[in-house]
Amino acid sequence: MNWKKIGIIAGGIVVLGSVVGFTVYQSRKNVVTVQSGRVMREDLTSVVTASGEVNPNNYVNIGANAFGKITHLYVKEGDKVKRGQLLAQIENVQPAADVTAMQASLQAANGDAAAADAAYNTAVADLARAKADAAQKKLDYERAQGLFHDQLIAKQEFDAREAAWEASASGLQQAQARIVQTKAQREAAHDRIKQAAASLTHASDVLQKTVYTAPFDGTISNLPVREGETVVIGIQNQPGSTLMTLADMSVITAEVKVDETDIVNVKLGQPADITIDAIPNKVFKGHVTEIGENAIVRSTGVATSQTLASSQEAKDFKVKVRLDDPPQNLRPGLSTTAKITTATRAAVLAIPIQALTIRQRADLDPKGKDKGSVQAAAPSPTQAKKDKEEIQGVFVIRGGKAVFAPVETGITGTTDIEVTSGLQQGEEIVTGSYKVLRTLKNEAPVKIDNTVKKPEES
Interval 220-271: pLDDT, tens: 988 988 998 888 886 655 666 788 999 988 889 999 999 999 999 999 999 9
User: What is the sign, positive or negative, of the torsion defined by CA atoms of 281, 285, 287, 289?
Assistant: negative
Going by DSSP bridges, is the β-strand pair 242-259/315-323 parallel, antiparallel, or unpaired? Answer: antiparallel
pLDDT tier for residue 372 given thresholds of 50, 70 and 90: very low
Give 10 or 36, the one with higher predicted confidence.
36
For residue 83, the model assigns a pLDDT of: 93
Task: Please determine, for residue 182, whether its predicted confidence score (pLDDT) is greater than 50.
Answer: yes
- Per-domain residue ranges for the chain? 30-46+347-371+379-457, 50-59+251-344, 92-209
In sequence order, the β-bridge partners of residue 242 are: 63
Give the integer Cα–Cα distance in Å for 29 and 447: 11
Percent of the chain with pLDDT over 90: 43
Counting every residue, how long is the chain? 458
Task: Please determine, for residue 57, whether its predicted confidence score (pLDDT) is greater than 60.
Answer: yes
Give the integer Cα–Cα distance in Å for 343 and 359: 28
What pTM, to 2 d.p., does this model score? Answer: 0.64
Task: Please determine, for residue 21, whether its predicted confidence score (pLDDT) is greater than 70.
Answer: no
pLDDT tier for residue 162 given thresholds of 50, 70 and 90: confident
Q: Of 253, 234, 337, 211, which Cα lies nearest the Cα of 59?
A: 253
Give 125 or 381, the one with higher predicted confidence.
125
For residue 370, the model assigns a pLDDT of: 47
For residue 446, the model assigns a pLDDT of: 92
**What CATH number does domain 50-59+251-344 carry, 3.40.50.700, 2.40.30.170, 3.90.1150.10, 2.40.10.340?**
2.40.30.170
Q: CB burial class (10 A; 0-12, 13-18, 19+) of residue 154? A: exposed
Q: For residue 44, what are the contacts with CB-CB under 8 A and spacing of at least 6?
A: 344, 345, 348, 350, 410, 411, 412, 413, 416, 417, 418
Give backbone dihedrals phi and psi of 96, rounded to 5 degrees, phi first.
-65, -40
pLDDT tier for residue 457 given thresholds of 50, 70 and 90: very low
pLDDT tier for residue 10 given thresholds of 50, 70 and 90: low
Mean model confidence pLDDT for the chain: 84
CB burial string 349-381: b at 16+ within 10 A, e below: bbbbebbbbebeeebbeeeeeeeeeeeeeeeee
In sequence order, the β-bridge partners of residue 61 are: 245
For residue 18, the model assigns a pLDDT of: 53
Give 268 or 168, the one with higher predicted confidence.
268
Q: CB burial class (10 A; 0-12, 13-18, 19+) of residue 119? A: middle
For residue 453, the model assigns a pLDDT of: 57
Going by DSSP bridges, is the β-strand pair 401-406/408-412 parallel, antiparallel, or unpaired? Answer: unpaired
CATH topology of domain 92-209: Helix Hairpins (1.10.287)
For residue 108, the model assigns a pLDDT of: 92
Task: Please determine, for residue 425, whether its predicted confidence score (pLDDT) is greater than 50.
Answer: yes
Give the integer Cα–Cα distance in Å for 248 and 215: 10
Give the integer Cα–Cα distance in Å for 95 and 348: 73
Task: Please determine, for residue 212, whether its predicted confidence score (pLDDT) is greater than 70.
Answer: yes
For residue 259, the model assigns a pLDDT of: 92
CATH architecture assignment, domain 30-46+347-371+379-457: Beta Barrel (2.40)
